[in-house]
């Protein structure tokens, strides 16, 4: 089955000082060209997360598995921010994050939980993620992180 909406337009680069408006929400634009990677096995989550990152001004790719993410990185792709779901088939989210760090990936890595209970983050944190979040991935939460990356 062809992935739905995977071909959507990447983040629009606007001119300086311009933000994108959408029905009252002001989405940012950045000085740098920010690149992101979403690693999420769930189709709906992956599509929405990629879209939200795009709305927030990040040119984003999305893959379904940790292995696919590692292939991208091994091929030379670099990202400013990587968002990884906790539960991935075969290579888990924390395992993926750990392998990325072992490969020297210095991107901001965010661990994502469909459902978070206190203590769940330990594996992710031990693997070297910078932060973690319970879904959904929201612009309000993402934008301050992107602002830091842009600076």
Partner 1 sequence: MAGTDLRAQLNNFIKAMHDQGILDEHFEHVKGLQNEYNPYFVLEIVSIFCRDAENVIAEVTKFLDEPVVDYVKTIGLVHQLRGGSSSLGGSRMAIACRELRQATQDNKKEECLQALEKVKREFSTLHEKLNVISQMERTILTNEGSMVQCIPSGSIY
Interacting residues with partner 1 (CB under 8 A): 1-2, 4-5, 8-9, 22-23, 25, 27, 42-45, 47-49, 51-52, 54-55, 85-87, 114-115, 117, 134-139
Of 22 and 78, the one with the shorter C-beta distance to partner 1 is 22
DSSP state of 75: T
Provide the minimum distance between the beta carbon of 55 and partner 1 in the complex, in angstroms, as a whole number: 6
* Burial grade of 26 (CB within 10 A; 0-12, 13-18, 19 or more): exposed
Identify which of 75, 100, 74, 20 has the alpha carbon closest to the alpha carbon of residue 83.
100
Provide the minimum distance between the beta carbon of 105 and partner 1 in the complex, in angstroms, as a whole number: 24
Contact assessment for residue 25 and residue 10, using Cβ atoms and an 8 Å cutoff: no
Provide the minimum distance between the beta carbon of 106 and partner 1 in the complex, in angstroms, as a whole number: 28
CB contact burial 52-62 (16+ within 10 A = b; e otherwise): bbbbbbbbbbb
Provide the minimum distance between the beta carbon of 119 and partner 1 in the complex, in angstroms, as a whole number: 12
Of 42 and 101, the one with the shorter C-beta distance to partner 1 is 42
Of 101 and 135, the one with the shorter C-beta distance to partner 1 is 135
């Amino acid at each position: 089955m062809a992935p739905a909406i995977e071909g959507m337009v990447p983040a629009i680069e606007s001119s300086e000082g311009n933000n994108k408006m959408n029905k009252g929400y002001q989405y940012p634009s950045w000085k740098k060209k920010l690149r992101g990677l979403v690693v999420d096995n769930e189709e709906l989550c992956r599509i929405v997360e990629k879209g939200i990152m795009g709305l927030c001004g990040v040119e984003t790719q999305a893959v379904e598995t940790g292995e696919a993410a590692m292939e991208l990185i091994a091929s030379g792709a670099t990202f400013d921010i990587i968002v990884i779901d906790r539960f991935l088939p075969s290579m888990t989210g924390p395992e993926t994050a750990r392998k990325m760090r072992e490969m020297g990936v210095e991107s901001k890595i965010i661990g994502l939980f469909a459902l978070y209970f206190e203590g769940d983050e330990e594996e992710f944190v031990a693997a070297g993620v910078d932060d973690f979040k319970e879904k959904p991935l929201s612009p309000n939460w993402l934008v301050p992180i992107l602002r830091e990356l842009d600076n």
